[in-house]
Structure 1
Amino acid sequence: MQLRHIRNMIIIMLYIAIAFVITFYILSMKYPHASAFSYETCRATYDMTDDLFKTLNGEVPEDASNVAAASASTPHVQTAPDGKASHVAVLMYHYVVPEKYNVEPNNARINLEAFEQGMKFLHDEGYHTATLKELEQYVKGEIQLPEKTVVLTFDDGYQNNVVYAYPVLKKYGFKANIFIVGTKLSDQKQKFIPTAKTTISRQEMKATSDVFAYHSHTYNLHYKRLVQCAEYYAAGKDSKRFTHDIDLMKSKTGINTPYFAYPYGEYDPQMVYDLKRNGYRMAFTVRPGFVHPGDDPMYLPRMNVTSTTTVRHLLNLPDE
């Protein structure tokens, strides 16, 4: 009886929190320049709702970051047998283009020349590029990986990944992964223009499957929208849209794997719950850091690689 009473009280508190959320959401949309007090109250209400959801569903570890620019987590202190990895770096790329065509330099674009240099370094140093299946087994403690192991990931599904990155990866015998936005997957191959944001076609996806494995970056929720307290967040934080989007990704693209990359690295307890409920077993943030055995597989960090940050530096290797 006491447990039932506690459960009912939690449910009541949850409904109250939701009511507050709806109220303050409407107010924040109507009065975007409301007082700091209104904003803080709105944020506190959302935080309370998240805490209640976590209590009821056991989602999100206490030390997991929920923002894209969060700092790295506390370093793990682990040992591994000689020649085996105590940690693994998951490297993250987006847009790959020759320097002469890089008309909008930013942290999501890497010059082809820098990419080639990084891949050559990994090859010359004897690095193994693990698949996501291998990484999942490593995180679960089911297998060990070579000491020199990395995982290569690309987000969004740009056509330049197959035009420029694919030949380099194939040359070195590397495996990589593309987290693709489903609606960006073209039925017909697009005319490739180096300075344009053209995306991968089904034909190119099939032709590059010897190097690239394709996974979900949502079907059509890779954009920002007003979600709460007059702030822009990844659209995936809308639970109804997100659950429908998961179904669309599988049915419309044929991409049905258990691996996912959060759009903009943003997530909340409901998203994680929905992913697990729909068979996803591992998901990636943009929080920097290394992956270790025993890490929560739904909140794995990745290292963003840019034209000015070398792979050697990201792997914490000493300069020559």
Structure 2
Amino acid sequence: MPSESKEEAKSGDSGSITDPTVLALIRWGTGSVFEDSLEEWMMDNCSPFAEAIAPGEEQPLSWGSAFSAYCEWLDNELSTFCSDNDLTPKEVSRAMGETMDEHGEEFFPTFMSITEYSTFTEHMKKLATKREREGEAADAAEESLDSGNISGVWCSDPDRYDPDSVEEGLKQVNCPWVFRKVLKRAAKFIKDVTIKQDDDGIEFAFSIHLFGTTINYAPYGELCVTKNLWGKECKVMGPRPPRGQNGTRYEQFENPGCPEGTTYKGSWQLADNGQTLVWENVVYRPDLDTTVVYTQYLIRKEARK
């Protein structure tokens, strides 16, 4: 990996990761083959976590069983990684420990952060909720395809993914250097988005590499607190779109990590007869006096049953 530029160093980024073992782990853990296998395992095993429990109530035994099964599954996957890269588990553990000491734990892919039981259960509960939302969003889409409603289950279009554009967009919103480089290596930035739009507002449930699943609801015309792609709180407001308009617009305020005066305007627009969703972001940084426009393309996918 190239060393960070002088510009990146001035911006306070944490510098490059150079350990070849860690770089191999990052490439593997954010690649499409492993990510697809991980998503399939988690979606196939998240149903028990849809059960709501009251504070202090004992958790179902099925949750512990699922965690044990996940750890066993992950051990097998990591063993394959070690074998394919001529590494030993001890070498991988040493490299990870040294890199975490230097850069912190958060840059590792999702599969590494959910080896703690509490984090695992929280992640699976969100996935279970998201899975329920998929059916609702798909039903809403079928009922409103001719009205400009953007409800549906969407996934990144791999043929139109531009990692360089994504990196520029992430840099504009002060995403740390480490995350930018890891996300650029990923097969796709945002894995999928589930959207349910009604007359009062819009709900987004999305999954992103490294940061798991987030669910936000924003009523039209109200300044509300939501979480951004990194799980950090921000404020968002969007007007009620006129009926028949193919999409919706919004503005994000008080962007975490960005200087005062930063403007962040986004839109979700339907294209290709409703089969493509175009997500465009326009971000202006007053300290740099630059505007960056970055775009993500998503295509409809069938909801899980």
Pairwise TM-score range, normalised by the shorter structure: under 0.3
Greater RCO (CA < 8 Å, at least 6 residues apart): 1
Structure number with greater Rg is 1
Question: Comparing both structures, which one devotes a greater share of its residues to strand?
Answer: 2
The TM-score with structure 1 as length reference comes to 0.24
